[in-house]
Structure formats: C-alpha cells, structure tokens
C-alpha cells in the first residue's frame, strides 16, 4: 500500500523469485504492479509461478464494478499487462453483499474460465462476516480473507471449517 518506485518493486520481486517465492497476488487497483510483474516473469517458465489477480476495482478511488462485461475487459487487460495467456486464479475484489448473495449475476464472466483464461475463481472479501452472505459455493474455488495473529475471526467464526467442508481453498 502506498507509493513505491518501480525500481524498488523490481528489486522486491527479483528477491522473491531468487527465494523461490512463486505466489503473486495482484490487482489492477495496485497501480502498475501487473505490468512490472509481467516484464519480470518473462524470464521464468509460466508453470513456475502462480498468478492471482482480481477484478471489479480499477482504482480504490473509483466505484466498484462487477458487471460481467467489465470483469471480462479487466481480465483481458490483466492478461495483456502480465504478458500471459491465463491466470491461475481470478478473484472478485471486495464484492458487495448483493453480489455475494447472488453469484449467478457473474455467470457470463465464468465463460472465460471455460475458454482457459483463468483456472480457478475466488473471492477476496474485505470483512470475514461477508462470507455469510454467500448462498452458493458451486463457483468458488478460493476465499481470500484477513487472518493474522491480531485478526482470527476466520477461525472464531468457523469460516475455515466451512471452507474445508466445501473444498474451498483459504488464502490469508
């Protein structure tokens, strides 16, 4: 979060790669992160890294947009920026309760998964309580939530167990 120079970002990513860190969580809302990462990853075999990006927010200062056509445009732009043909994971970026209650609204977007543009679909939720607005787990491969020594709501609320029961990966 906050401003960082491209040179510093490149040094951080190169350092991660030399330490065999291969999971990269990015978003169009994170500035030029996708473009920087795309240029650096050309040196790696695509199957050596796991790319997780998000859709629904272009900039945190702008309104969220979960219209399937916008999500497809964002996905295509991310693929172009990352210079790759597919993402390992695409997540909705902090979707509102209305979207969580009716994921069928984004079914047209899910056709992009069948086309091979992404391999798994998930949700990056801002508040763990948002998890309880989900009515259907069929489309979801993963949930990303805050979980750390100071914030253990995922465990206390039983979200971890519910994800396990529904074969949903938990990213914290």
Q: How far apart are CA 40 and CA 104, in angstroms?
A: 36
* Residue 29 φ/ψ, nearest 5 degrees: -70, -10
Query: Is 1 designated active site?
Result: no
Q: How far apart are CA 133 and CA 126, in angstroms?
A: 13
The single residue of 24, 27, 28, 30 carrying the catalytic annotation is: 30
Orientation angle between helical segments 33-41 and 68-82, nearest 10 degrees? 40
Q: How far apart are CA 44 and CA 145, in angstroms?
A: 28
Q: Active-site residue numbers? A: 30
């Amino acid at each position: 979060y906050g401003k960082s120079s491209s040179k510093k970002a490149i040094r951080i990513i190169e350092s991660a790669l030399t330490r065999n860190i291969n999971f990269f969580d990015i978003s169009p809302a994170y500035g030029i992160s996708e473009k920087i990462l795309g240029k650096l990853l050309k040196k790696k075999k695509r199957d050596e890294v796991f790319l997780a990006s998000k859709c629904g927010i272009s900039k945190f200062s702008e309104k969220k947009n979960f219209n399937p056509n916008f999500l497809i445009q964002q996905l295509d732009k991310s693929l172009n920026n990352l210079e790759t043909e597919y993402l390992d994971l695409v997540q909705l970026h902090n979707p509102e309760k209305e979207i969580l209650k009716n994921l069928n609204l984004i079914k047209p977007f899910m056709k992009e998964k069948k086309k091979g543009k992404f391999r798994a679909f998930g949700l990056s939720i801002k508040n763990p309580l948002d998890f309880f607005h989900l009515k259907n787990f069929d489309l979801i491969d993963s949930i990303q939530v805050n979980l750390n020594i100071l914030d253990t709501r995922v465990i206390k609320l039983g979200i971890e167990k519910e994800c396990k029961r529904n074969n949903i990966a938990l990213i914290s």
